Amino acid sequence: MAHEYDVLVIGGGPGGYVAAIRAAQLGFKTACCESNPYADPKGEPRLGGTCLNVGCIPSKALLHTSHLFEEAGHSFAAQGINVGTPKIDVTKMVARKSTIVDQLTGGIKGLFKKNKVTLINGHGSFIGKSDAGWQVKVGEELVVAKQVIIATGSSARHLPGIPVDNKIVCDNVGALDIDAVPKKLAVIGAGVIGLEMGSVWRRVGADVTVLEAMPDFLAAADQDVAKEALKVFTKQGLKFNFGVQIGEVKVGKKGVVISYKDKDGADQKLEADRLIVSVGRVPNTDGLNAEAVELKITERGMIEVDDHCRTNLPGVWAVGDVVRGPMLAHKAMEEAVMVAELMAGQAGHCNFDTVPWVIYTSPEIAWVGKTEQQLKAAGVAYKVGKIPFLANGRALGMGEPTGFVKMLADANTDRILGVHIIGAGASELISEAVVAMEFAGCSEDLARICHAHPTMSEVVHEAALACDKRPLHF
C-alpha cells in the first residue's frame, strides 16, 4: 500500500531538512526520506547531510580547537599568560567534534517531530506518475507525493588513479577523523576544504604542503584578499605549489608518495604520511532513476532548474548542491524556503547576488557581491574603500590586527556592489554587508549608521566612509 503525502523531500541535508520543515509549517503533509551514508550505531538515518556530519560543522569544531592550541603555544605569552608547552590530545579533539555532530543531528530529528514531518529511512527513486502524484520508491516502501523536492546534495570529487581509503588518502570525510598528527601532510587542492583542513593539522604540528593545479590562489576571491591571504598563510607555515600536474600516487601502509610536474614542467616528488584530496564536489544524482521520468540533468550532472528551482517536471523541484550555483549550505537553505513558499502560493525568492562566501581559516575570509576584477571586466565604474584592521582598537586589543575590509560601490549611484573581508570574525562581519546589499544600500547608508565602539564592525564603517574619501581613523 502506498503512503501518500503532499510533499516528499528526497535528502535530509541543509536543503532537504529545511525544505521539509518549512513545507510542514505551511500546512503540507510532509515526509523526508534519507538513506544512511554516515555511521549510525542504530542504523537509523542521520540528518544534516554532508554539512552537519562530515563538513561545515565538524570542520569548524576542529578549527576552533586547533586555533586555541596555536594561541596557547604562540600568542598567550605576549599577553602575559604563561602555560608552558601545550599538548594536543587528537583523540579527545575528534571525540568532541563527534559529540557536537551527534547533538545537532539528533536536534533535527526533534525539529521533525515538532513540525510533524515524517522521516523515512531509504533513498528515494522515481518510479513514475499516477493521478495521485509522483510515485517514488523509498527502501521497500512506495510513496506517492503531489510534489517532490530533490535535495540529494553532493559528494567529494576523487581523482582517477588515486583511491581514497580515508586512512592514508582522505577526502573531507577522512580528513576529519585522522587519529594522530601526521608529521607530513599533503593536500591536493587549495580551495576551501583544502585550506581549512590544512590549517587544522598545521596548527597542531603537521608540516603541510598544498598542491594546486590552478596557477593562481583563490581565483574566485577578490585579488587583494587572495594576495593578503597567501602572504599570511605562507608566513604561518603552509607551503604552496601552484600550476602543478598530478602524476602517479603510490600509497603504502605508512604513507604516500606523490609524483607531479611543477609550474615549470619539472618532475617533482612529495612524500607524506597522509594525503587529503580536496578538488571539488560532484552532485548526487545517481539512484534517482531520473531517466524513468525524463528528469533533465545537465552535462555536469546537475539537475536542470529555473531561477525558482523548478525542474522540467511539474511538481518536481530541486535545491542545493544538486543544482546550479555555489555549493553552500546556506544557499541550499534559502532555496529550500523559497520552494516551500512557492508551493504554498507565496512569493518565495532567493537573491543569489547576496549569497555570502566564507573560508574559516585564521584569519577568516568572507565576501559578498562582485570582486574588483569582475567589475573591471564588466566595465563598471566603481569606487573603493579599504581599511586595515591595524587601525582598529578592538582588533589590536584582541591581538588580531591582520587583514582589512574592502568595499566596492558604484561610482555613479553609490550602491554597494561588493564587500570583501580578511580578518578575525569576517564570517560574522559580512552579515552587515549582506543586509545592506539586500536592501540596495549605498556606502553612505553604512557610513551614516552608528557603530558601537570599540568593535571590529567599525572597520566596515570606516571602509564605507573611505568610499567617499572621508575615513575618520585611517
Tens digit of each residue's pLDDT (9 = 90 or more) over 385-415: 999 999 999 999 999 999 999 999 999 999 9
- Domain end, chosen from 249, 279, 309, is at 279
228-248 pLDDT, tens per residue?
999 999 999 999 999 999 999
Main-chain dihedrals φ then ψ at residue 166, nearest 5 degrees: 55, 30
Mean pLDDT rounded to a whole number for the chain: 97
pLDDT of residue 1: 76
Give the contacts of 195 (CB within 8 A, at least 6 positions apart).
210, 233, 238, 359, 361
d(CA 283, CA 285): 6
149 and 25 in one domain? yes
Residue 138 pLDDT grade (very low, low, confident, very high; cuts 50, 70, 90): very high
194 appears as a binding residue in the annotation: yes
CATH code of 106's domain: 3.50.50.60
Which amino acids are annotated catalytic?
Answer: 453
Residue-wise pLDDT tens digits, 350-376: 999 999 999 999 999 999 999 999 999
Mean pLDDT of 108-113: 97
Residues 36, 121, single domain; the answer is: yes
Query: Phi-psi category of 439—alpha, beta or left, where left has phi over 0 and alpha has psi -120 to 50?
Result: alpha
Residue 43 banded pLDDT, cuts 50, 70, 90: confident
The response to whether 328 counts as a known ligand-binding position is yes
Domains held by the chain: number: 3
* pLDDT given at position 36: 75
Q: Is pTM beyond 0.85 here?
A: yes
Q: Which domain holds residue 265?
A: 157-279
Q: 7 with 129, same domain?
A: yes
- Judge if 304 and 410 occupy the same domain: no
Find out whether 152 is annotated in a ligand binding site.
yes
In a domain, 232, yes or no: yes
Residue 350 lies in a domain: no
Encode pLDDT of 249-299 as tens digits.
999 988 999 999 999 999 999 999 999 999 999 999 999 999 999 999 999
Q: Is it the case that residue 39 has pLDDT exceeding 70?
A: no
Annotated binding residue at 104? no
Residues 259 and 171 reside in one and the same domain: yes
pLDDT at res. 42: 77
Statement to judge: residues 26 and 119 lie in one domain:
yes
The neighbour count for residue 309, using CB atoms within 10 Å, is 27
Residues 320 and 227 in one domain: no
CA–CA dist 415, 335 (Å, integer): 25
Is 410 annotated to bind a ligand? Reply is no
pLDDT in tens, 288-346: 999 999 999 999 999 999 999 999 999 999 999 999 999 999 999 999 999 999 999 99
Mean pLDDT of 377-382: 98
Looking at the structure, do residues 145 and 166 belong to the same domain, yes or no? no
Q: Considering 324, 344, 364, which residue would you say is the last residue of a domain?
A: 344
